[in-house]
Structure 1
Amino acid sequence: MLLLSEHALIALLWLLPAIGKPSLVRHWWLAQASAAAGALAAVLLMAVNGVQPGLLFQLLIQLLAWVILRFSVRYLSGEQGQGRYLKAIGWLLVGATLVVASRDWPTLLGGWLLTSRALHTLLTFYPSRPQAGIAARREAVASRLAELCLLLGALLITWAVGSLHFAEAAQPLAEPVRQAARALGAVLVVCCVLLKTAQLPFHGWLTQVMEAPTPVSALLHAGVVNLGGMVLIKLAPLWSVAPATAWLLTLWGGMTAGLACWVMQTRISIKLRLAWSTCAQMGFMLLECGLGQYSLALLHLVAHSIYKAHAFLSSGSQVRTTIRQPASVLASSAWRHLASGIAGTALLVLSLQAWSHALAHPLQPPLLLVVIIGLGLAPLCQRLHGCVLALTLCQVYLLLHSLFASLQTDHAGAPLLCQALVALFFAALYLLQGWLARHPGHGLSQRLYALAFGGLYLDEWWVRATLRSRLALPGNPTLSGAQGGPPS
């Protein structure tokens, strides 16, 4: 049974554009009014109940919907199917609201089913485009598999704990059989999130949905994909009693984050770079959850949503922006590359020590996160003014981390062995990146570039598995067409 909550009003608001049949002008006005009213309702609820992760994410979704709808009015001007577009947006926001508001398994499953069905309609906004249909089919296959994992996991957990509610999913269990059933159910739910967040090698549907209108891409990357992270945060106590999930999230998320970043660097298409960036960002968010850093994961989701919405909606001006950017600097020497990585990590460690004396509850991010973020600051640390900027970014990061730490409780995460494996992986990638920059003409560099340019060919088997039945029919696109032709 669906639990009525403070979010129910927001879901009801989105039913107005979803089921109504007004004139086109009134339909646009109704959809934008629903978004504005939903955002206002979230603000009022936070004023009454305090700032909570669910309400914060709800506010973010409503604001993103309002901005995307405002953008869509002009973007889709003169297009056929605007009414269908608005109804699908309405149903998608109803589903997303239910996912965020869910307190039991039926509500979560129903919300995700509704979101996926509405997304399918949006992805096929141009039904005459074969690539749009193929991408939508691939998304549907991935979503059905994810929802099957969620259903089986929910059934196992419900049988183990005797309740449909999330609040009781982590209660102590005496019987080993029920403990094992809950652990297996938790792993299946994590597998659902891996599929929903487009983790390698199930990423192909996300990187091939560029035939949809730009506002749909913005809503997908800034909102829909992020729902998986919100579910992980919501079920944080469950993962703490199922240690296998920490290993799964940390290893899979870390590998996806590193490899997707590598592939992204070879892309020329702006939207494809953003799509691979989303895969990497979601992988890093899963890594944070695997480490038990749910406050950081919440911060990551909010920042990623805002960034991706802006990036997609402004993608048309990126060519002009790129032309104005200065040319990239020459590759640094091996010692300088290594020193900049050490300097970035040292700046973060020193900042953490300084903040530990100023806070009543010091921030204690795992060593793995310190290493990854420090290596991310390394390019800035090759110049003195860059070091100043890196130090400033450390303070901004720690300030935001401390604010979000008051909203979400962290839990124990992956063991040190798991963290060490991922840390070695990222360190190796960092050193490899420096070597490739210094030896672009080397035979190994050329082979690795071709491998990354092809997306590591991880998507080949998934394409054949999901599209074999359609490709066998006369008149359907060829396999090369299903894969989107040569890499962009």
Structure 2
Amino acid sequence: MSLQWIGTLMTWFIPLSLFVVAMMNERKARWQLARVVSFMGLVMTMILGAALYFKWINLGGSEHWLVTSNASILVLGLVTFIGFINIGYSRVYMSGNLEEEKRYLRWLLVILGTVATVITTNHMLVLVIGWIAITLGLHRLLIFYPNRQRAVLAAYKKYIFARIAEACLLGAVLILHYEHGTWFISDIYQDIQVSTHLTNLDHLAALLLALTALIKCAQLPVHGWLIQVVEAPTPVSALLHAGIINLGGYLLIVFAPLIVKSDIAQWMLLIVGGITTVLAALVMMTRASVKVRLAWSTMSQMGLMLVECALGLFELALLHLIAHSCYKAYAFLNSGSEVEASMKRRLSEAEPPTRLEWWVAGLFSLALVVGMILAFNLPEPYSPWLLFAIALTLLIAERRGRLSTTSLFEMSLLAVFLLAVYILQKNGAGLLIPNLPTSVGWQGDLWIATLLIAFMAGYILLRYHQDLPWMKKVRRAFYAGFYLDELVTRLNLRIYPTRLPVRFKPKKLQIPKEELFH
């Protein structure tokens, strides 16, 4: 048996083994077996990654239904790793009710298997079927506690938006098949790369793919369900925020040559994703609940990832996907401890920087980033570097806390170190997937730069000037999320009404007197 066949069988084994174990949970939850299988999938992914890097095997091409890009193996490794961690955490979290354990583990494994299928497939119809299976399986976990009204309402809205996203994805796939005469992603990838311009149908397919990604990543105004599904079990939230919601960005990475040649798709991603990035990050500052803050943070991060794809920075989007998944998995699974840490941070908030400190931090950060751009002759776009400069400015300016203070010199060294690490990681991701030139040019770059400057201004106002009379009204609007979710929820219930579970209030139960005496 050749290495090619061994690599193919190993790739198929990962999702199929998860499906098989999912069907073995009728009598009891087989947690140990599920964890062993997920760990085996992680090991096999590492072996496949090494084999592909050294070109011992080649799983791409129309003769195979597997792995459309080098990034697929990296994302598959991420999914198996998060699945392994999630299963171990869930085993302790869900212990106590045998029926709930069986039902939970069954759907968890189905979701992990379908996500692995979507990542490794080269066939567009398999991609669509897997996408639908993921949302259906996730729906069962989101309503795992069917008596919680907020959880049911959030899952209901997610169900509607998922159907819309799937319709957009199916439409894009059918259009691409009609236009290019193939079901294989790799063939379409090559056809679009060699073509000088897109046809009208290709533009329509790119637009539908952009809409699919925006809906999947819970961008404004279809974001409310993501905020409310924190009613689901904690490991479900970790799975959703660390893996499933990232599929919108992964979809754009897979169809990168198509996206970068469509102006309408790029501008839709830049406008909706850019606005969501800024507003969600500012809304997060007004919330107190740890899980809700993490949910708004996910919205902002997903918006930024879509913006990176629209700017052609696919290496940065891939790096963002990996980093965000690992961070959110840790943050949600550690959310219990995060409550105490959050309280400590509020009690020891940084002292407001002086105007001089803001200027020093801003000029140093800007000089550091601009010097790096000039030294290495880095190409456009430059708005992501502006974002990095803003992050360094906040890091240096807010170095003084009530419990400890870091010197300007130490924080400057940290800024240099972070910039060096960022460049190394970005270049490392570039070995797997290249950046592509886009058609939006400097106009798109200027638009994102303007939004980032607005974010910096909003951050300073919300954090250090919230006591101003007019800022109280502004803060109230941010806290309410500009009431966008309420409007969308009313529209959903008006078009497609549903019945929510009845909440019993034990304090108000009226017990007949005859039942009190037996």
Do the two structures share a fold, i.e. TM-score over 0.5?
Answer: yes
Question: Is 1:409 matched up with 2:437?
Answer: no
The more displaced of 203-212 and 102-111 is 102-111
Is the alpha carbon distance of 1:320 and 1:176 closer, same or farther for their aligned partners in structure 2, counting shifts above 3 Å? closer
Instruction: Point out where structure 2 has 5 or more consecutive residues left out of the alignment.
Output: 1-7, 55-69, 398-407, 504-518
CA distance in 1, matches of 2:142, 2:161: 14
CA distance in 2, matches of 1:124, 1:77: 18
1:30-41 matches, within 5 Å, as: 30-41=33-44
CA distance in 2, matches of 1:404, 1:230: 14
1:227 aligns with: 247
1:238-387 matches, within 5 Å, as: 238-325=258-345, 327-334=348-355, 336-354=357-375, 356=376, 363-364=378-379, 366-382=381-397, 383-387=408-412
Question: Is 1:71 matched up with 2:89?
Answer: yes
1:424-463 matches, within 5 Å, as: 424-463=450-489
CA distance in 2, matches of 1:62, 1:474: 35
Instruction: Point out where structure 1 has 5 or more consecutive residues left out of the alignment.
Output: 357-361, 478-488
Deviation at 1:435, TM superposition (A): 3.7
Is the alpha carbon distance of 1:438 and 1:324 closer, same or farther for their aligned partners in structure 2, counting shifts above 3 Å? closer
1:33-182 matches, within 5 Å, as: 33-50=36-53, 52-79=70-97, 80-170=99-189, 171=191, 179-182=199-202
Is the alpha carbon distance of 1:172 and 1:23 closer, same or farther for their aligned partners in structure 2, counting shifts above 3 Å? closer
The more displaced of 448-457 and 130-139 is 130-139
CA distance in 1, matches of 2:102, 2:412: 51
CA distance in 2, matches of 1:363, 1:405: 14
CA distance in 2, matches of 1:308, 1:19: 29
| DSSP 3-state at the match of 2:156 | helix
Question: Is 1:10 matched up with 2:14?
Answer: yes
Is the alpha carbon distance of 1:468 and 1:54 closer, same or farther for their aligned partners in structure 2, counting shifts above 3 Å? same
Deviation at 1:261, TM superposition (A): 0.2
Aligned partner (choices 397, 417, 420) of residue 392 of structure 1: 417
Deviation at 1:330, TM superposition (A): 3.0
Is the alpha carbon distance of 1:112 and 1:445 closer, same or farther for their aligned partners in structure 2, counting shifts above 3 Å? same
Asked if structure 2 preserves the Cα contact closer than 8 Å seen for 1:99 and 1:111, the reply is yes
Is the alpha carbon distance of 1:416 and 1:328 closer, same or farther for their aligned partners in structure 2, counting shifts above 3 Å? same
The more displaced of 158-167 and 312-321 is 158-167
Describe the superposition over 1:215-262 as per-residue Cα deviations: whole angstroms up to 9, x where unpaired: 000000000001111111111111133232222222222111111000
CA distance in 1, matches of 2:214, 2:9: 27
Asked if structure 2 preserves the Cα contact closer than 8 Å seen for 1:201 and 1:459, the reply is yes
1:20 aligns with: 24
Asked if structure 2 preserves the Cα contact closer than 8 Å seen for 1:14 and 1:34, the reply is yes
2:230 aligns with: 210
Describe the superposition over 1:73-119 as per-residue Cα deviations: whole angstroms up to 9, x where unpaired: 11111034111111101110121012111223201111111110110
Aligned length: 467
CA distance in 2, matches of 1:43, 1:379: 37
Asked if structure 1 preserves the Cα contact closer than 8 Å seen for 2:198 and 2:262, the reply is no
Q: Give the letter aligned to residue 411 of structure 2.
A: G
Is the alpha carbon distance of 1:5 and 1:420 closer, same or farther for their aligned partners in structure 2, counting shifts above 3 Å? farther
| TM-score, length-scaled by structure 1 | 0.90
The more displaced of 374-383 and 111-120 is 374-383
The more displaced of 372-381 and 462-471 is 462-471
Q: Give the letter aligned to residue 233 of structure 2.
A: P
Instruction: Give runs of ≥4 in structure 1 deviating > 6 Å.
Output: 173-178, 474-477
Is the alpha carbon distance of 1:381 and 1:174 closer, same or farther for their aligned partners in structure 2, counting shifts above 3 Å? closer
Q: Give the letter aligned to residue 52 of structure 2.
A: N
Asked if structure 2 preserves the Cα contact closer than 8 Å seen for 1:203 and 1:459, the reply is yes
Deviation at 1:339, TM superposition (A): 4.6
Is the alpha carbon distance of 1:406 and 1:172 closer, same or farther for their aligned partners in structure 2, counting shifts above 3 Å? closer
| DSSP 3-state at the match of 2:243 | helix
1:481 aligns with: none
Describe the superposition over 1:398-445 as per-residue Cα deviations: whole angstroms up to 9, x where unpaired: 111111111111101332112212211221221233244443222221
The more displaced of 345-354 and 36-45 is 345-354
Q: Give the letter aligned to residue 426 of structure 1.
A: L
2:210 aligns with: 190
Deviation at 1:365, TM superposition (A): 5.4
CA distance in 2, matches of 1:95, 1:118: 9
Deviation at 1:71, TM superposition (A): 0.6
